Amino acid sequence: MRRMLISAAAAGCLVASPASAEPDYAAAIRADYLRSLGPMFDWFHRNPELSFKETATAARMAKELRAIPGIEVTEKVGGTGVVGVIRNGAGPTVLVRADMDGLPVEEKSGLPNASKARQVDIDGVEKPVMHACGHDTHITGLVASARQLIETKDRWKGTVVLVVQPAEERVGGAKAMIEDGLYTRFPKPDYALAWHVASALPSGKVSASETIQYASADSVNVIVHGVGAHGASPHAGRDPIYIGAQIVTALQGLVGREIDPIKPALITVGSFHSGSKHNIISDRAELLLTVRANDEETRQYLLKAIPRVARDIARANGVPENKLPTVTNPEGTPVTANDPALARRLNATIANAIGNANVVPYVQQGMGGEDFAYFVEAKHGVKGYYFGVGGTPQAAFDAAKAGGEPVPSHHSPLFKITPEPAIVTGAIAMTAAVLDLLGPAGAASGQ
């Protein structure tokens, strides 16, 4: 995930509203952090788990939600997912989602609570595990908001569905939960909300787009089938490394020469494996790609064009038809876009809660993806709002600008955020958003 750039020029486009007093639940969330949320986050950070393997994390989240009176908790939804339902009379239904999986990264942050965890992934390989994208802040923040929504039940009417989602990093958890009946076994939402900590955004700040928030993201596997031979006799085989290298180069031509240059698109070959010895031409090469786009038309064009490019290059190198490359798309997610009217409304609501200066315009930088898109697909009729929450103190940006250490990116082994302001800000903002949608005006409209 998911980087943000906030420009001074863009800041002028935000319509300011009069400053308002901080809501009373803000102080309660801060006190809650010192009392229990901080230790909870520490436990999550020390004990990360990989996608679809989040059994201990899910159990801890189920325990924390069950400890809050008035929440109905269901486990094992879409694998390891947890769902909590708060019912409070007639009114709209709001889904609040937090993802919980870590990444196969060895933590090198130098933090005292750095993860030392290792786990066997769903592919059967043991790997180091780290919360290198901040999902530990999201689930802690979900508990914080849930507690305040129970405490403020006299201020709202409707239903809140709390979703603890597995496998966002494999862009499969949201889809798995929906396929397991999230929208049929539980109250179907009118709105779906989520937030993500952002290391490239200063602590205390919130930022959300009124349109596209994240690009689509697809994993594509290309298996090149060659003909093995001795390295001294390449003419006797068909070299899959040579063919694969041509495919890597040609794939960039898809982006550079077949996609409209004003439409963002990206193909990155993240892995290229083949062979076992210096003088043996292998009979197989594996390429692992990530494919990104900002609209569904471009996404589908790339996904259909990659097999064409791979197979035609193999043909040009004399590979027989029965040995052409195999191309699969094991996981992917559409573009994540906010509902424009909802984003304008909730951006203003959050500005009232945390201060106008702390809600800053969102500018897409990079092409991070998010499977939150599955919760708000058009076929569901659910309006979505996804916002970023700052995770890095301004002093760290100032130091980096002065020549110091750069701020680590998401998915880096050096990744670190300052948890207290991120969790507190995220929880205040989320609580404000839900109370707006389910408060007297929102509940009365039912929209």
Mean pLDDT of the region 274-299: 97
In a shared domain, residues 206 and 261: no
Q: Which of 316, 331, 346 is at the close of a domain?
A: 331
How many domains is the chain partitioned into structurally? 2
CA–CA separation, 225 and 217 (whole Å): 26
Write out pLDDT tens, residues 122-153: 999 999 999 999 999 999 999 999 999 999 99
Q: Do 28 and 176 reside in the same domain of the chain?
A: yes
Please tell me the distance from the alpha carbon of residue 59 to that of residue 76, in angstroms, as a whole number. Answer: 10
Q: How far apart are CA 391 and CA 202, in angstroms?
A: 6
Q: In what order do the strands lie in the sheet with 216-225?
A: 265-274, 284-293, 216-225, 326-333
What are the DSSP E strand ranges found in 129-177?
Answer: 158-165
Average pLDDT over the chain reads 94
On whether the CB atoms of residues 213 and 370 are closer than 8 A, the answer is yes
Residues 211 and 221 in one domain: no
pLDDT of amino acid 443: 56
Same domain, 312 and 366: no
The residue from 136, 168, 331, 339 that is catalytic is: 168
Residue 19 has pLDDT above 70, yes or no: no
Answer yes or no: do 91 and 201 share one domain.
yes
Burial status of residue 17 (CB atoms within 10 A of its CB: 0-12, 13-18, 19 or more): exposed
Angle at 154 between CA 149 and CA 160, to 5 degrees: 35
CATH of the domain at 193: 3.40.630.10
**CATH code where residue 304 lies:** 3.30.70.360
pLDDT at 15 over 70: no
CB 173 within 8 A of CB 61: no
Q: Across-strand partners of 193?
A: 96, 385
Last residue of a domain, one of 308, 331, 354: 331
What residues does 179 pair with on adjacent strands?
A: none
Closest CA to 361 of 215, 192, 210, 216: 210
The answer to whether residues 261 and 166 belong to one domain is: no
pLDDT band at 364 (very low <50, low <70, confident <90, very high): confident
User: Active-site residue 168, yes or no?
Assistant: yes
The model's confidence at residue 440, banded by pLDDT at 50, 70 and 90, is confident
pLDDT digits (tens, 9 = 90+) for 175-223: 999 999 999 999 999 999 999 999 999 999 999 999 999 999 999 999 9
Tell me which of 284, 305, 331 is where a domain ends: 331
pLDDT of 6 reads 37
Q: String of b and e for 31-70 (b: at least 16 CB within 10 Å)?
A: ebbeebbeebbeebbbbbbbbbbbebbbebbbebbeebee
- 271 pLDDT tier (thresholds 50, 70, 90): very high
Average pLDDT on 87-105 reads: 98
Residue 202: which of 405, 364, 417, 392 has the closest Cα? 392
Strands (E), 78-146: 81-88, 93-99, 118-120, 126-128
Quick: pLDDT tens for 100-119: 999 999 999 999 999 999 99
* Token pair 């569905």 in the structure block, residue: 161
- Compute the Cα dihedral for 431, 437, 440, 441 and give only its sign: positive
141, 124, 197: which is closest to 417 by C-alpha?
Answer: 197
Answer positive or negative: Cα dihedral of 191, 337, 348, 200: positive
CA atoms of 358 and 348, how far apart (whole Å)? 11
Domain that holds residue 352: 3-215+335-445
The pLDDT of residue 445: 54
Of residues 6 and 315, the one with the higher pLDDT is 315
Residues 6 or more apart in contact with residue 18 via CB below 8 angstroms: none
Secondary structure tally for the chain: helices H, strands E = 12, 19
Indicate whether 174 and 32 sit together in one domain: yes
The two three-digit tokens of residue 95, written as one number = 């889904």
Query: Does one domain contain both 350 and 400?
Result: yes
Amino acid, single-letter form, for residue 390: G
C-alpha separations of 217 from 143, 170, 386 in Å: 28, 10, 17
Are 140 and 255 in a shared domain? Answer: no
SS3 446: coil
Q: What angle do CA 185, 96, 290 make, to 5 degrees?
A: 95
Same domain (yes/no): 209, 292: no
Q: Are residues 177 and 66 in the same domain?
A: yes
Q: What is the pLDDT of residue 20?
A: 59
Considering the candidates 49, 54, 101, 370, report the single residue annotated as catalytic: 101
Q: How many CB atoms lie within 10 A of CB 332?
A: 20
Residues 154 and 120 in one domain: yes
Dihedral of alpha carbons 162, 391, 25, 58, sign: positive
Query: Nearest-CA neighbor of 80 among 209, 189, 176?
Result: 176
